């Protein structure tokens, strides 16, 4: 783990790079499930639903005023904050996104390794503004659902209306999944994304496997960065 | 099962995503040291239990995790309106449309009601059978 840096942002906030300088083995939230044989490094997907974890991404929670944050995120990330509640803005190649979580809270997801640099740039840009940035990369993970039966699978799992009129592309909602909570996102036409908590990851995987058994579902999770 | 409109998410969601958090619009005494024990006790422990219109706080715990207010009829469970924190209800027990015998008394401290009278007093009278 790198040393804490106090010199940026006026010395009142300790920030540190959660990526260690030397390479060590990393365990995604689905590691527990992997040890129990529920998750494959590379799953052969011959079923109607494909579930792939995108581990080790950079997740940042931004809190503060919409106008100041929008300006900073637009300048440093090139994506504007969603203008409306439940909005999800994704960049051109789909690897970076900004999502509305609540009236003063947004979730930024960027490729793993970019989040520390982005956090520092945002802090510098925001200066003395009233805001908070928290790196939550270790606490949650992103799971992609795609395939013909992905919607049917979700219909069995969430209370939310997952039809295209209820959850169009560019919308993301926090809702009930099985008996826990997830963030359900619709970044593109081809599929859905779930942001699940680390402590509930195994439960969610087991639920998905059970609900997707009739569709031949396998869960894939790359074991390294 | 309620189908509740969250004023922050700007759409209706299942009740499962929400949790009730008690009476709304409670105001903490600005100077707790100087209020009487009775007024402080009223603020701390006593809540309205009206028959009819009730303003209560709910939290959208699995959605945006924000608190907001609901005006609900405790007899029919009908949710009459939801509105964000810091705003005042447009429908109250005094609103003409719902004005009727609410059977509500207010305590001396002025904070809460201490009991509900039946809408029809004969309901409580013993009948000779």
Q: What is the pLDDT of residues A67-112, one digit of tens each?
A: 999 999 999 999 999 989 999 999 999 999 999 999 999 999 999 9
- What pLDDT does A205 receive? 96
Residues A52 and A163 in one domain: yes
Integer Cα distance of A164 and A154 in angstroms: 13
Chain A residues within 8 A of B8 when measuring between CB atoms: 85, 102-103
Is the pLDDT score of A7 beyond 70? no
Estimate to the nearest angstrom the gap between the alpha carbon of A122 and the chain centroid. Answer: 19
Burial class for B8, CB neighbours closer than 10 Å (0-12, 13-18, 19+): buried
- Interval A112-129 mean pLDDT: 94
Sorting pLDDT into bands at 50, 70 and 90, what band is A206? very high
Chain B residues within 8 A of A176 when measuring between CB atoms: 14, 16-17, 62
Q: Return the exposure string of B27-61: e unless at least 16 CB atoms fall within 10 Å of the residue's CB, then b.
A: eeeeeeeebeeebbebbeebebebbbbbbbbbbbb
- Interval A147-162 mean pLDDT: 94
The greatest distance separating any two alpha carbons of chain A, rounded to the nearest whole angstrom, comes to 56
Residues A123 and A62 in one domain: yes
| Number of domains making up chain A | 2
- What pLDDT does A26 receive? 87
Whole-number Cα distances in Å, B11 to A144, B60, B63, B80, B114: 25, 12, 11, 15, 35
* Residue A160 domain-assigned (yes or no): yes
Nearest C-alpha in A relative to B62: A175
- Interval A135-148 mean pLDDT: 95
Is the pLDDT score of A120 beyond 60? yes
* Residue A96 domain-assigned (yes or no): yes
| Cβ-defined contact of A101 to B64 (cutoff 8 Å) | yes
Nearest Cα to A52, choosing from A221, A223, A225? A221
**How large is the ipTM?**
0.87
**CA angle B100-B106-B108, nearest 5°?**
160
Nearest Cα to A38, choosing from A143, A158, A152? A143
Domain boundaries, chain B: 3-117
**Interface contacts A/B by beta carbons within 8 Å:** 39
* A90, A112, A136 - which closes a domain: A136
* Residue A67 domain-assigned (yes or no): yes
Nearest Cα to A103, choosing from A60, A70, A63? A63
Chain A residues within 8 A of B9 when measuring between CB atoms: 85-86, 173
Chain B interface with A: residues with Cβ < 8 Å: 8-11, 13-14, 16-17, 62-66
- What pLDDT does B72 receive? 92
- If one looks up domain B3-117 in CATH, what number appears? 3.30.2270.10
Residue A45: domain span? 26-56+139-225
- Interval A129-137 mean pLDDT: 95
Chain A residues within 8 A of B64 when measuring between CB atoms: 85, 101-103, 105, 174
Chain A residues within 8 A of B17 when measuring between CB atoms: 159, 174-176
Nearest C-alpha in A relative to B14: A159
Is the pLDDT score of A32 beyond 80? yes
Q: What is the mean pLDDT of each run of 10 residues along chain B (129 residues)?
A: 92 95 94 94 93 94 95 91 93 66 40 42 52
Q: Residue A129 maps to which CATH number? A: 3.30.70.1520
Residues A109 and A120 in one domain: yes
Residues A124 and A47 in one domain: no
**CA angle A154-A180-A48, nearest 5°?**
20
* Residue A3 domain-assigned (yes or no): no
Report the 10 Å Cβ neighbour count for A215.
16
Is the pLDDT score of A9 beyond 70? no
| Cβ-defined contact of B10 to A84 (cutoff 8 Å) | yes
Is the pLDDT score of A60 beyond 60? yes
| Cβ-defined contact of B9 to A85 (cutoff 8 Å) | yes
* Contact by Cβ (8 Å): A193, A170: no
| Cβ-defined contact of A86 to B10 (cutoff 8 Å) | yes
- Interval A118-138 mean pLDDT: 95
| Cβ-defined contact of A102 to B64 (cutoff 8 Å) | yes
SS3 at position A30? coil
- What pLDDT does B126 receive? 55
| Cβ-defined contact of B8 to A85 (cutoff 8 Å) | yes
Chain A residues within 8 A of B68 when measuring between CB atoms: none
């Amino acid at each position: 783990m790198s040393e804490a840096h106090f010199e940026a942002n006026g010395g009142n906030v300790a920030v540190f790079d959660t990526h260690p300088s030397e390479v060590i083995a990393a365990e995604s939230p689905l590691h527990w499930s992997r040890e129990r044989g529920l998750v494959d490094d590379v799953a052969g997907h011959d079923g109607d639903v494909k579930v792939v974890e995108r581990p080790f991404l950079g997740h940042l929670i931004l809190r503060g005023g919409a106008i100041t944050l929008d300006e900073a995120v637009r300048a440093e990330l090139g994506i504007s904050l969603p203008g409306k509640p439940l909005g999800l803005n994704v960049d051109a190649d789909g690897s970076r996104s900004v999502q509305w979580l609540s009236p003063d809270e947004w979730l930024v997801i960027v490729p793993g390794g970019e989040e520390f640099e982005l956090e520092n740039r945002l802090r510098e840009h925001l200066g003395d503004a009233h805001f908070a940035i928290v790196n939550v990369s270790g606490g949650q993970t992103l799971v992609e659902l795609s395939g013909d039966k992905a919607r049917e699978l979700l219909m069995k799992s969430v209370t939310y209306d997952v039809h295209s009129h209820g959850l169009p592309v560019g919308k993301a909602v926090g809702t009930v999944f099985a008996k826990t909570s997830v963030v359900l996102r619709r970044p593109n036409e081809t599929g859905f994304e779930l942001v699940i908590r680390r402590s509930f990851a195994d439960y969610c995987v087991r639920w998905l496997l059970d609900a997707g058994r009739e569709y031949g579902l396998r869960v894939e999770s790359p074991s390294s960065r | 099962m309620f189908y509740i409109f969250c004023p922050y998410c700007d759409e209706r969601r299942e009740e499962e995503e929400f949790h009730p958090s008690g009476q709304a619009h409670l105001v903490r005494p600005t100077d707790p040291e100087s209020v009487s024990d009775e007024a402080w006790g009223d603020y701390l422990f006593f809540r309205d239990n009206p028959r009819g219109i009730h303003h209560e706080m709910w939290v959208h715990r699995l959605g945006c995790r924000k608190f907001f207010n609901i005006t609900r009829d405790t007899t029919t469970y009908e949710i009459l309106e939801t509105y964000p924190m810091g705003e005042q209800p447009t429908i109250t027990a005094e609103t003409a449309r719902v004005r009727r015998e609410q059977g509500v008394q207010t305590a001396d401290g002025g904070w809460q009601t201490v009991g509900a009278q039946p809408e029809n007093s004969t309901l409580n009278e013993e009948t000779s059978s």
